[in-house]
């Protein structure tokens, strides 16, 4: 999952580079840069630290990313988009997001299947040789 997130960050960097040539505002560029580049790197660091919630966060990020990629591809193929380069980046990103959803879901499921911590042991029975037995 680390490699998928780093790959998504690299694809996001390419997508942001293409978006710089459009007439987006500075705020939109910063938000897209955060979502496409920094957020996958933050999730990769959470995976690296073996935080169990990070796998589900990857599934959520991959689902949102896949929806955006499908909307972008549909828009370009419908004639409303202008960049064929963006079509290629969206296809690559969509594939990586789909694989991230699959592996993130499996990782989260396996995290849920770990054995629970051991229960406390029952107290020892009283000794037959104790002095309080009269």
Per-residue pLDDT of the chain (134 residues; tens, 9 = 90+): 889 999 989 888 888 777 666 667 888 888 888 988 999 999 999 999 988 889 999 999 999 999 999 998 898 888 876 677 788 888 999 999 999 999 999 988 888 776 767 777 778 787 777 665 44
* Residue in the structure block whose two tokens are 């988009």: 81
Q: Tell me, what's the pLDDT at 26?
A: 80
Do 8 and 97 meet the contact criterion of CB atoms below 8 Å apart? yes
Structure tokens at 21: 């040539």
Give residues with Cβ within 8 angstroms of 40, minimum separation 6.
Answer: 5, 6, 8, 9, 12, 61
What string of H, E and C letters represents the secondary structure of 79-97?
A: CCCCCHHHHHHHHHHHHHH
Per-residue confidence (pLDDT) for residue 102, from 0 to 100: 95
| Phi and psi, residue 116, nearest 5° | -70, 160
User: What pLDDT, in 10s, does the model give residues 23-60?
Assistant: 678 888 888 889 889 999 999 999 999 888 899 999 99
| pTM assigned to the model | 0.76
In order of 122, 124, 125, 126, the CA distances from 130 in angstroms are 19, 13, 11, 7
């Amino acid at each position: 999952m680390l490699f998928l997130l780093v790959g998504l960050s690299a694809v996001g960097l390419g997508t942001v580079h293409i978006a710089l040539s459009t007439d987006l505002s500075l705020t939109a560029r910063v938000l897209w840069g955060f979502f496409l580049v920094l957020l996958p790197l933050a999730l990769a660091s959470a995976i690296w630290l073996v935080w169990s919630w990070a796998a589900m966060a990857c599934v959520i990020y991959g689902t949102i990313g896949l929806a955006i990629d499908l909307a972008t591809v549909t828009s370009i193929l419908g004639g409303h988009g202008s960049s064929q380069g963006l079509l290629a980046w969206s296809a690559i990103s969509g594939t990586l997001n789909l694989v991230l959803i699959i592996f993130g879901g499996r990782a989260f499921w396996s995290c849920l299947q770990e054995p629970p911590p051991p229960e406390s042991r029952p107290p020892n029975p009283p000794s037959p040789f104790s002095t309080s037995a009269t």
